[in-house]
Chains A and B, each alone.
Chain A
Amino acid sequence: MSTRRITPNLFAMHGALILYVLIALFPVFVIVVNSFKSRRAIFREPLALPNGDSFSLVGYETVLKQGDFFLYFQNSFVVTVASLFFILLFGAMAAFALAEYRFKGSTVMALYLALGIMIPIRIGTVAILEMMVSTGLVNTLWALILVYTAQGLPLAVFILSEFMKGVSDDLKNAGRIDGLSEYAIFFRLVLPLVRPALATVAVFNMIPIWNDLWFPLILAPAEEVKTLTLGSQVFIGQFVTDWNAVLSALSMAILPVMVLYVIFSRQLIRGITSGAVK
């Protein structure tokens, strides 16, 4: 193998990528840096880093005192985790049925479930709201959980059944000979084996659910069920003159997705490169 040398070509490539990284991160930098500065410093030198003179946590204090950020955060967390749980459980069960058993109408069923991959669920919003109102689920977290579960299922079934087709038949048949029920085969043999695929599906669904603004706005706008995204949207509207508070609120909203992303990014990349969405 030849040693790595910085050729002019490679130099240009790094240059282009670094330039793009700066473009990608600049707005995040501006928000987070200014959230730690005093009001005057924000306006005088928006691009400077906070120093002993300009450092201030007054924005964070305001947000933590006035906003219901912990409640919003908790709501977002509950909705995201519950939706992911149902997407994975129901999606994996259906994927197993489609991958494992031949039955009358199995192709039609697979096609029926795949329909939703291309059709955005938002198109049905008017009827969804009507349904949630008539069942009394409006302004509950259940409304959001149900919608996100339905939204995530088609792609989950599609990806997971591809993976489940790859699980060896010998293993399952050995289980059957040992007297395991079909449920035990699914939960104890197959599910642990497709764990990487489950993680991929979870990561794909996590960020859009966490960041969604449309359904919280329409189905659950009440104060006690507001999600973090909707909460920070409303907060910006009310406190638009309190720059410290707004910038701190936004920085706090960035933090959880960043943490999740750092934890799961490797799985996301592995999922994409292993052809989960090809």
Chain B
Amino acid sequence: MGRIRWHVVVFLAPAVLVYTAVMIFPLFDTLRLALFNAEDKARIFVGLANFKRLFLDPIWSEQFWNALANNFWFFLIHMLVQNPIGIALAALLSSPKLRFAALYRTAIFVPTILSFVIVGFAWKLILSPIWGIAPSMLDAVGLKSLFAPWLGKEEYALTTLALISVWQFVGIPMMLIYAALLSIPEEILEAGEVDGITGLSAFWKIKLPLILPSIGIISILTFVGNFNAFDLIYAAQGALAGPDFSTDILGTFMYRTFFGFQLQLGDPYMGSAIASAMFGIILIGVCIYLFGIQRRLRHYQF
């Protein structure tokens, strides 16, 4: 006993080393940095003072709670719009009688592969009141009065960006649900057909319960993705998440704090504190999913 099998070590070492050094260690180092601050270029331990500032100091807390609330709204729109549309598209595509399903699937997935820079700019262009594609299109159907500079108004900008993000990523829930629907055994559907359950009612009564685990995974992926989002807001609205911080989410808030922007100086310690808060939020979400949702969903698996 005790003989080291060197080949096992050799196989594991590269992955474990890179993963530990570049992911796990920085993660904990960031949590550690959140407990420090700089004074005259020296790093001093300040305990939870950074968090106290972040949550309670009016200058910081106003931004933090704003970003957090915006982030929840961003997430909620994805849950209420993106995932139902994705499921509906997958249900249509998985119908055995449908032709050209592969073509539809490919086309709908195209926005997902585009970079945020392209997506942000394309929609800014379309929605811009100056260029006027959106106003003139609405005019063509007699709805011009509905037009507003959606990305430029505080009350609409965040919702508009969330919908753009939905447009971009609807392909992911669609693909995952599509795969789940295809893996439902034919016999179950046939048994339902014998009992007279077909069409829409087959979807609600048989397929939907069976794909609930996949819907659970999609929900947690949406959650983690949204509370880690940054690129689209940055590409479309810049680091200041305008107008007047109405589109600020935790990702942009952390970037601005850590890196500094215009007159604001970068502060790695407060940046770490925000990152730690994001870590906590994501951890809570993942735990709720693992212990609350996934366990209950197991009943439905076959």
Contact = CB atoms under 8 A, between A and B. Distances in A.
A8 B25 CA distance: 59
Report, as a range, how many residues of chain B touch the other chain. 35 or more
Given A47-B133, A119-B282, A218 B8 contact: no
Interface in A194-244: 207, 210-214, 217-218, 229, 232-233, 236
Contacts of B228: 120, 122-123
Contacts of B106: 265
Contacts of A275: 179, 183
Contact of B92 (A16, A123, A183): A16
Interface of A: 4, 9-10, 13-14, 16-17, 20-21, 23-28, 30-31, 43, 46-47, 86, 89-91, 93-94, 96-98, 101, 103, 109, 112-113, 115-116, 118-131, 146-147, 149-151, 153-154, 157, 181-183, 186, 207, 210-214, 217-218, 229, 232-233, 236, 246, 250, 253-254, 257-258, 260-261, 265, 269, 272-273, 275, 277-278
B293 to A, nearest CB: 14
The list of the 9 closest CB pairs from A to B, nearest first, reads A124-B26, A127-B29, A150-B22, A94-B15, A127-B26, A97-B11, A27-B122, A211-B115, A120-B228
20 contacts: A27-B119, A27-B126, A30-B122, A93-B14, A94-B12, A96-B11, A103-B5, A121-B22, A125-B26, A126-B258, A147-B22, A153-B15, A213-B117, A213-B234, A229-B117, A232-B117, A233-B117, A250-B117, A250-B118, A272-B175
Query: What secondary structure prevails in chain B residues at the interface with A?
Result: helix
B176 to A, nearest CB: 7
Interface string B119-137: 1011101100001110001
Interface of B: 5, 7-8, 10-12, 14-16, 18-19, 21-27, 29-30, 33, 89, 92-93, 95, 97-100, 102, 104-119, 121-123, 125-126, 131-133, 137, 167, 170, 175-176, 178-180, 182-183, 199, 214, 217, 220, 224, 228, 230-231, 234-235, 251, 254-255, 258-259, 268, 271-272, 275-276, 278-279, 282-283, 286
